[in-house]
Structure 1
Amino acid sequence: MPQIKIYGLEECLKPKRELLSNVLHSCIVEAFKYPLDKSAHRFFYLDQKDFYYPQGRSKQYTIIEISLFEGRSIESKRMLYKLIFERFENEMGISANDIEITLTETPIYNWGIRGKSADELLLDYQIRI
């Protein structure tokens, strides 16, 4: 299950957080074949004075950091990016230019979940897709 952090200006991000979470989760489910009930999203609301972002971005600029088990194919990652860029624009009006996504993959044994090392768990989804 990926752990996801979403950063953006509070005034822009907070009103859309539920929709953004749902849209983002739908992208993860489709691209990575995740179960619907697996989501862990954390929102980090920033004040304008604390958030410097690249020139040419709008106030909607949003950073998405996804930590997950290693193993997804390049194709599935590209599919995830494509889905996020398309759905954020179509469903929330956030331009692809205002989205940055970082995937950080670590070995499954580097995760502790439900009282065990994750490599000892029986998962209900595939990692190698």
Structure 2
Amino acid sequence: MPATRIETRRGWIGSRRLEIIEAVQRALLTGLKIPEDDRCISLLEYEADAMIVPPGKGESYSVIEIKLFSGRSLDAKRRLYAAIVDELSAFDVPAGDIKIMLVEIDPENWGLRGLPASEIDLGFKIDV
């Protein structure tokens, strides 16, 4: 049940916003083995003067922050990182222009349907 935010500079995506979002969704499915209908991704584009990036990075430099339940294995995280880079390469985003940050949250600190997620049958495994 990850919540994902993609942040980048305006201009390089153009009309492909939904395609980028779907690419990251496919990477989440591959890496974390979440259900197909588990979707929560936003895309924020900033004007060039509203986002500074490290020297040498291209116009497609992107920061992808994924908030997720704690408990995923290092192998799942590796699969996720590789899948994101692979999916975004179709948009000519170099691997060096992708920064991925995972923010792990204990299920008791994530509220769903008025309850802590730790008290709900999520319908999928976290420890993949």
For Structure 1 versus Structure 2, the TM-score category normalised by the shorter chain is over 0.9
- Determine which structure has the larger helix proportion and give its number: 1
Give 1:67's aligned residue: 67
1:103 aligns with 2:94: no
Q: What are the superposed Cα offsets for residues 7-63 of structure 1, whole Å, 9 maximum, x if unpaired?
A: 011222453221111111111111111111111011222010111000110111011
Q: CA RMSD in A?
A: 1.0
Give 1:12's aligned residue: 12
2:6 touches 2:43 (CA, 8 Å); kept in 1?
yes
Letter in 2 for 1:74: L
Give 2:42's aligned residue: 42
User: Gaps spanning 5+ residues in structure 1: where?
Assistant: none
Q: Secondary structure at the match of 2:102?
A: strand
Structure 2 length normalisation: TM-score?
0.95
Letter in 2 for 1:62: S
Q: Secondary structure at the match of 2:28?
A: helix
Residue-pair matches, total: 128
Give 1:128's aligned residue: 127
1:85 touches 1:99 (CA, 8 Å); kept in 2?
yes
Letter in 2 for 1:111: W
Q: Percentage identity across aligned positions?
A: 30
Letter in 2 for 1:53: V
User: Gaps spanning 5+ residues in structure 2: where?
Assistant: none
CA distance in 2, matches of 1:55, 1:70: 32
1:94 aligns with 2:93: yes
Letter in 1 for 2:41: H
